[in-house]
Amino acid sequence: MMVSRALISFVFSAFLLRTCLATTFTIKNNCPYTVWPATLAGSGSTPLSSTGFQLSPGATFSLSASAPWSGRFWGRTGCSTDASGRFSCATGDCASGAVACNGAGGNPPVSLAEFTLVTGGGQDNYDVSLVDGFNLPLSIAPQGGSNGCQTTTCSANINSVCPAELAVKDQNGNVIACKSACEAFGSPQYCCTGSFSTPQTCPPTNYSMIFKRQCPQAYSYAYDDANGSLYTCVAPSGYVITFCP
């Protein structure tokens, strides 16, 4: 089969473009309260220029990453600094003692936006994950790109339907986060460990289905791949991550 020089030139140009240009992550806070987003680069990936920052209602903040890169974003709520200067949050806290997480992940329960960026015209992977529980609604919207590039979202407030045995409450008794069954009970059937460590032996549970019914596009437990929770996009210019979409 003959391939035109124009097509070869186009493919090569697309390869160079994605290899040389960074992907922009725009984080937006649509919540009616302040959120403190945080970032964590995966193993072998370069940390982003900020690992934690404050975002007032309606505000946006942008970061960039050069592929290949993998990592996650999440939102922290109920944050404050005590008399000693130590910073902490009611949900999503990374226990760094500062606004920047500096390589630490968010303590569950926490809603996650996860990414794997690739070079050379390959497919990025991205998803909204509730495997570590839920604290905030969020969405991921690719900007440009091809081959799928759909928005994925968890816009429901799962805290409003969280079972008492999974609920995390503030001092006033309000539910501020919802644990995964794995975190709450630690048993293999909920954590997909031991004899439950394969997709065949670790099916959805009544607890994971609570999350799935509220947010059908998000990962509800470890082996949720078969339900179309992983999304792909080729060479987008960036992604918009929105809290409270």
- The alpha carbons of the chain give a radius of gyration, in whole angstroms, of 19
Distance CA 210, CA 230 (A): 19
With left for phi above 0 and alpha for psi between -120 and 50, is residue 72 left, alpha or beta? beta
DSSP string, 62-91: EEEEPSSEEEEEEEEBS-EE-TTS-EE-SB
Residue 84: both structure tokens together: 């000693």
Distance CA 203, CA 220 (A): 11
Whether this model's pTM surpasses 0.85: yes
Distance CA 70, CA 54 (A): 22
Residue 46: both structure tokens together: 């370069």
Domain count, the chain: 1
Q: What is the pLDDT of residue 3?
A: 42
Of 21-25, 150-154, 171-175, 196-200, which range is least confident? 21-25
Q: What is the CATH number of the domain that holds 9?
A: 2.60.110.10
Helices in the chain by DSSP H: which ranges?
Answer: 5-20, 181-185, 188-191, 206-214
Structural domain harbouring 217: 5-243
Q: What is the pLDDT of residues 92-112, one digit of tens each?
A: 999 999 999 999 999 999 999
Encode burial over 20-29: b for 16+ CB neighbours within 10 A, e otherwise.
Answer: eeebebbbbb
> Contact at 8 Å (CB) between 62 and 27?
yes
Q: What is the pLDDT of residues 126-181, one digit of tens each?
A: 999 999 999 999 999 999 999 889 999 999 999 999 999 999 999 999 999 999 99
Place of tokens 């160079």: 16
Distance CA 139, CA 45 (A): 23
Split at pLDDT 50, 70, 90, the class of 20 is: low
Residue 216: both structure tokens together: 């059908």
